[in-house]
Amino acid sequence: MNFNFWPFSRQRHKLPEPVPVRARFIRTDAVGKGDLRLQSTLCRLGRAPDNNIRFDNDSVSNYHAEIYYLPDGSFQICDLNSTNGTWINGKRIQSQMLGNGDVVELGEVRLHFRVDHL
């Protein structure tokens, strides 16, 4: 999948840089799952063990979505052609900017996005 509108190129041979702001998901579909923190400028979500954030739920694709921390300090989520889609605030998306408080759904997994500025 190649997207030309991202203002940076993905360099797979380098490790992603640490995120300079604190961003996290609060999982609300399962009790006790807690905060899921974004640790780098590129964060992949899915069921496969090599994802940055992994979900043990059959409704989530192996490689479901990616979140990018952009140079202007914003976050963008992109669906990776997942089976059940990526939904933001009840709307199915292919790619969208994330805002503080957005509700993200990956299959049956429901997450609330939070940004805590330092």
The Cβ-side half-sphere exposure at 94, using a 13 Å CA radius, reads 5
What whole-number distance in Å separates Cα of residue 35 and Cα of residue 70?
22
Separation CA 83–CA 28 (nearest Å): 21
Per-residue model confidence as pLDDT tens for the chain (118 residues): 445 455 444 545 555 565 555 788 988 877 666 778 888 899 999 999 999 999 999 999 999 999 999 988 899 999 999 999 999 999 999 999 999 999 999 999 999 999 976 5
